[in-house]
Structure 1
Amino acid sequence: MRHCLLSAVVLLGLFSSACSHSSRTPNDAGTDSGPPPEQTDAGTPPPGASVQVPVSVPEGLRDFPFNSARSLTVPPGFSVSVFARVPEARFLAVAPNGDVLVSQPDQGTVKLVRPREGQPPEVFDWATGLRRPHDLVFRTVADTTWVYVAETNQVTRSPWQAGETQRHEAAVLVSGLPDSSLPELQGRYGHELKNIAVDPAGRLYVSIASTCNACLSDTQSTPERATLYRYGPEGGEGQLFARGLRNAEGLAFVPGTDTLWVTVNARDNIAYPYDDSTGQYGKVIPEYVDNHPPEGLTHVREGGQYGWPFCNPNPDSPSGLEQMPFDRDYELNRDGSVDCGKMDRFDQGIQAHSAPLGLTFLTGTAFPEPYRPGMVVAYHGSWNRTQRTGYKVTYFPWDAASGQPGAEVDLVTGWVSPDGKSVWGRPVDVGVTADGALLISDDQAGALYLLRKQ
């Protein structure tokens, strides 16, 4: 879409909340209770991925791509094994009894994976016939453990019973979420899969991502898209919580608080935004697109506005990838009708086109020290960068004093061939088992891995 002029009425409706606030750290966000005592300053980051190890694959799980020997690079003292094979494995959730739920959007299914001692796990069709299920959340509210399932058009929940292999009757909490079935979209919705989180009070947060790369229509739809909405513990009418998040994935709360963090997939094919002597103004230049705009890792405040589609984070300022200022988007904000100085900045940028998806905090888990506390993010990987990026799992130390992540450290790499020409796996989500292993889902290899300290 070319340059659009926004009327004063549209600007007032879209950005009145953003114009009265500046970017804040999580502990400034109103009712946050602050990090729990376990969290300490990030300090010196722990060792990153530096040792190449073979991927251990049990008998019976060695179909492609594991019909050939595979290896990954991990921190010293860690191993990687294939835990289960789940075709197109997307988001996962670890149940209180150790079972693992895994979504398969294109199959309309959620699998239940049950560990077995000394042999591959059992795999059950826990729920079928769903509309592209994606994110999964376990949450105990008022002595009942619930399982929340996000489909493209609704969010449902059901009570969890240890030992079940099929889902109990599910209640619809939120219905009518926009997806590709909308007549106006004619079957096209680039990011219709839904991600969710549930806060300590039982309120449900739903990411309604953009339908497009960059467009004005999503800011004028009902409900608005490229947003987060919040619903009550029993569903009901949704409240617009934050805007300008093109595709928020990996929703997760800082343990012990109501501070929500997300990963953000930024736009593609950005036009060069500077009217300078280079002669590149308004052109899509691969060398510029490769590193602009960065993806985001950020806390989200109520009433926040995070820029899309009018403003893009700029990694080229002295602050680098931290608290990046915004540039005007050439296509949709060339004349500065939207004040990018009023937008909420991402806390942390991530290399453009990395496609960060799943996010989990390690606080309160059994994952080994010194990685606890910290957060782990799965990068699904680029599709349009000159040189591939992403395709890995990264670690961010956690600084309790600032409520901010520290410098990024690679945790698992190696799904890309050394020459960068081929990829055999794409990480999606991460979680931690009761005995301290990191679960990693991979929708290209159709696998769940275990990263474990020896």
Structure 2
Amino acid sequence: MKTTSQILSISLLMLVTACIGQAKQEEKKATTNQSGNIVKTAVGEITLPLPYATESKTNSSKVIKWPEGKTPIAPQGFTVTKFADGFDNPRWTYIAPNNDIFVVESGTRTSKNQITIFRDSDKDRKFETREVFLKNLNKPFGMLVLKDFFYVANTDGLYRYPYKNNPLKLESQGEKILELPAGGYNNHWTRNLIANADGTKIYISVGSGSNNGENGMDKEIRRANILEINPDGTGEKIYAAGLRNPVGMDWNPVNNELWTAVNERDDLGDDLVPDYITSVKLNGFYGWPYSYYGNIPDPRMKGADKDLAAKAIVPDVSVGAHTASLGLAFYNKDSFPAKYKNGIFVGQHGSWNRAKIAGYKVVFVPFVNGKPSGKPEDFLTGFVASEDKAEVYGRPVAVTVMKDGSLLVNDDSGNTIWKVTANK
């Protein structure tokens, strides 16, 4: 027969053993339930799944014609109308200082590789003139009027043309002032442009030539960057790097930070890696191709350049994986309700590397005091005809704020530019 002390010892041992077992079970449970990497962004924590948590899928959308009379859907209090149609892949829009509106048609085999101008001569908000402004270009995208020059970013170089007295057509020969790397993975052909406030610097976005550096980093020289140059093409330097495919760029109207929309990498699963919008720090590195969302390693890089990856900046706002978020514009006018003031609109061209399609809409990110204050919310929807069939009516790209406060949205696949106006 066991003594009382022996019974107590056995009971204590059983209790300790049970506690240890429970602790191990809890530890195992916590590890098992760890669905991925928790990242702190400017608008709160997000959990990113582990690489290959789902199989990488190819699910390209099929574009079908917009039904007669149907338009995208904006929130209550807004009206959506057709600004113009009859384009051939209207990829980007630029509004010049004199309020002329320029639209590039580029990016597909049938695109005209030209720029069309819209002019409202009598300022009645109706554009009487629609003309071909410049043609025979090589996948044009970014446009810029700066002093006496009109700049065009073709996929292989930056050109400038003499531009005086606001012509309706450019007849003179352009000068190639900067060679740019062309070609590469998944049509990262867009080269966007923006100038600083005093016009002394131009910034050029150049996407990567690969998904994750699979062709060798020697093929990525000057790519996955935002470049800075002088207006004559000299003085090039890398303003920021590690941005897989930066496209839309705009200046924060509150603190004058440069912001961009970035397409992240593919083939890691349905929810990796989320595209993002972010402030762009001078000399900042944003991870590509070694890591993402800070120093989360891309497994395909096998630990290459850990020191550089350790310095990678976490982007400010996730806008969803594979959404192809391309357009970006701060809303700096007063026509829309107060909640939109100084926030960002993002044009999402839509996924191809996801089991269920994502994107195909315009989202809005609210800002307060120059900082993002909430997660993206739907603003312009209705582009998806059938999610199950992956059928869409169109694909938004550029989002451009007009002088009167209306918003233009380029639907390049629907060959239409939509105009969103706040009801009075």
TM category, shorter: 0.7 to 0.9
Answering whether residue 153 of structure 2 is matched by residue 150 of structure 1, we say: yes
Answering whether residue 385 of structure 2 is matched by residue 414 of structure 1, we say: no
Name the SS of the counterpart of 1:92 in structure 2.
strand
| Residues in 2 aligned to 1:367 and 1:342: alpha-carbon distance in whole angstroms | 39
Name the SS of the counterpart of 2:385 in structure 1.
coil
Q: TM-score, normalised by structure 2?
A: 0.76
Instruction: Report the count of equivalent residues.
Output: 355
TM-superposed deviation, 1:405: 5.0
Name the SS of the counterpart of 2:190 in structure 1.
coil
Segment of structure 1 superposing worse, 341-350 or 167-176? 167-176
Report the residue type matching 1:296 in the other structure: Y
**CA gap 1:159/1:76 in 2 versus in 1, 3 angstroms:** farther
Residue pair 1:359, 1:375 contacting (<8 A) in 2 also: yes
Residue in 2 that maps onto 1:294: 274
1:197 counterpart (170, 194, 212): 194
TM-superposed deviation, 1:368: 4.6
Residue pair 1:328, 1:336 contacting (<8 A) in 2 also: no
1:305 counterpart (279, 285, 288): 285
**CA gap 1:398/1:349 in 2 versus in 1, 3 angstroms:** same
Cα deviation, 1:401-444, whole Å, max 9, x if unaligned, reads 6x335321211001002544210100010112222211111110
Report the residue type matching 2:65 in the other structure: P
Residue pair 2:144, 2:194 contacting (<8 A) in 1 also: yes
Report the residue type matching 2:320 in the other structure: Q
**CA gap 1:218/1:244 in 2 versus in 1, 3 angstroms:** farther
Residue pair 2:406, 2:421 contacting (<8 A) in 1 also: yes
| Residues in 1 aligned to 2:226 and 2:394: alpha-carbon distance in whole angstroms | 29
| Residues in 2 aligned to 1:119 and 1:253: alpha-carbon distance in whole angstroms | 28
| Residues in 1 aligned to 2:195 and 2:171: alpha-carbon distance in whole angstroms | 20
TM-superposed deviation, 1:172: 3.4
Residue in 1 that maps onto 2:246: 248
Residue in 2 that maps onto 1:278: none
Report the residue type matching 2:276 in the other structure: G
Answering whether residue 318 of structure 2 is matched by residue 349 of structure 1, we say: yes
| Residues in 2 aligned to 1:192 and 1:418: alpha-carbon distance in whole angstroms | 29
Answering whether residue 89 of structure 2 is matched by residue 88 of structure 1, we say: yes
TM-superposed deviation, 1:260: 1.1
Report the residue type matching 2:182 in the other structure: D
| Residues in 2 aligned to 1:258 and 1:417: alpha-carbon distance in whole angstroms | 39
| Residues in 1 aligned to 2:89 and 2:207: alpha-carbon distance in whole angstroms | 21
| Residues in 2 aligned to 1:221 and 1:109: alpha-carbon distance in whole angstroms | 29
Name the SS of the counterpart of 2:404 in structure 1.
coil
Report the residue type matching 2:361 in the other structure: K
Residue pair 1:80, 1:449 contacting (<8 A) in 2 also: yes
Residue in 1 that maps onto 2:237: 239
**CA gap 1:90/1:375 in 2 versus in 1, 3 angstroms:** same
Residue in 2 that maps onto 1:447: 416
| Residues in 1 aligned to 2:92 and 2:125: alpha-carbon distance in whole angstroms | 25
Report the residue type matching 2:273 in the other structure: P
Segment of structure 1 superposing worse, 193-202 or 156-165? 156-165
Name the SS of the counterpart of 2:119 in structure 1.
strand
Name the SS of the counterpart of 2:314 in structure 1.
coil
Residue pair 1:83, 1:121 contacting (<8 A) in 2 also: no
Residue pair 2:253, 2:342 contacting (<8 A) in 1 also: no
Report the residue type matching 1:133 in the other structure: P
Identity of aligned residues (%): 28
Gaps of 5+ in 1: 1-22, 26-41, 43-63, 271-288, 314-324
Segment of structure 1 superposing worse, 80-89 or 326-335? 326-335
Alignment of 1:127-166 (within 5 A): 127-139=134-146, 144=147, 146-158=149-161, 160=163, 164-166=167-169
Residue in 2 that maps onto 1:260: 258
Report the residue type matching 1:98 in the other structure: N
Residue pair 1:357, 1:377 contacting (<8 A) in 2 also: yes
Residue in 2 that maps onto 1:125: 132
2:359 counterpart (390, 409, 413): 390
Answering whether residue 212 of structure 2 is matched by residue 207 of structure 1, we say: no
Cα deviation, 1:154-196, whole Å, max 9, x if unaligned, reads 222345556532126365363221113xxxx7xx673122112
**CA gap 1:76/1:237 in 2 versus in 1, 3 angstroms:** same
Residue pair 2:73, 2:80 contacting (<8 A) in 1 also: no
Name the SS of the counterpart of 1:295 in structure 2.
strand
| Residues in 1 aligned to 2:95 and 2:133: alpha-carbon distance in whole angstroms | 14
| Residues in 1 aligned to 2:41 and 2:420: alpha-carbon distance in whole angstroms | 34
Residue pair 2:277, 2:316 contacting (<8 A) in 1 also: yes
Answering whether residue 154 of structure 2 is matched by residue 169 of structure 1, we say: no
**CA gap 1:378/1:121 in 2 versus in 1, 3 angstroms:** farther
| Residues in 1 aligned to 2:127 and 2:308: alpha-carbon distance in whole angstroms | 55
Name the SS of the counterpart of 2:417 in structure 1.
strand
TM-superposed deviation, 1:227: 1.3
Name the SS of the counterpart of 1:298 in structure 2.
strand
Report the residue type matching 1:91 in the other structure: W
Cα deviation, 1:24-46, whole Å, max 9, x if unaligned, reads 99xxxxxxxxxxxxxxxx9xxxx
